[in-house]
Amino acid sequence: MKKFLAIGATSLTLAFGGTAAIAQDAPFGTDADINYAAQLWDAMVAQNLAGEGMIRSFPYDGIAPHGMMLETFYTETTVDGHTGTLIVKRNFGPEGVEADQVLAEPEKHLGAVTVMFRREEGYDADNQDWFWVKYLPDGSLDKNPAGMQLAGRVAKGADKGCIACHSGADGDDYIFTTNASMGMN
């Protein structure tokens, strides 16, 4: 009888029921990331940045991978006792959608809500302590092609993904649109 190992995101599961820890946890999509993302969504709903009754702004032209039209909000929020910079980007599509269409039927065109939240110092010092999340319009987490939920240090160490792209932003703050995080926190 052969024994085999199934490698999961955060542990090795032995065929006969045992579990052994692996040296390095996955950089995103862990149970802790998923729980934190749920708390962050609740904080956004409480601030009317997500969910029913969310505040609106005039959408502007966007680019892939976010959406053809975008709304972006900058503020602070508190999650699990930590107050940090919060950037909420609503991603609208499909390709060819125009601002008047998004304004008339935002729910029809909202594809995702992508978020950057600056966590406590030391969370991910290599990447300015940003926590990355991609929510579907209902607040559930989107997944990458491998099925990993997109919350946490999304694609850390990869040559594509949130961190790889945003590390190229001017100002060393991982923000393309503004230096709004300067002075917050």
Question: Tell me: the pLDDT tens digits for 63-88?
Answer: 778 888 999 999 999 999 999 999 99
pLDDT value of residue 11:
32
Burial 34-50 (b: 16+ CB within 10 A, else e): eebbbebbebbeebebb
The tokens for 45 are 């709903």
Q: Report the distance separating Cα 49 and Cα 110, nearest Å.
A: 13
Tracing tokens 């006969």 back to the chain, one arrives at 16
* pLDDT of amino acid 7: 29
pLDDT tens-digit map of 144-178: 888 999 999 887 777 777 777 777 778 778 887 76
Question: How do the domains of the chain map onto residue ranges?
Answer: 26-172
Model pTM score: 0.80
Round to whole Å and give the CA distance between 44 and 79: 10
* Residues facing residue 157 across a β-bridge: none
Count CA within 13 A, CB hemisphere, residue 129: 13
Report the C-alpha gap between 175 and 158 in whole angstroms. Answer: 18
Structure tokens at 50: 């997500």
Burial profile 145-164: b = 16 or more Cβ within 10 angstroms, e = fewer: eeebbbbbbbbbeeeebbbe
Residue 14: pLDDT band with limits 50, 70, 90: very low
Rounded Cα gap, residues 172 and 182, in angstroms: 11
pLDDT at residue 180 in the model? 53
Count of positions (residues) in the chain? 185
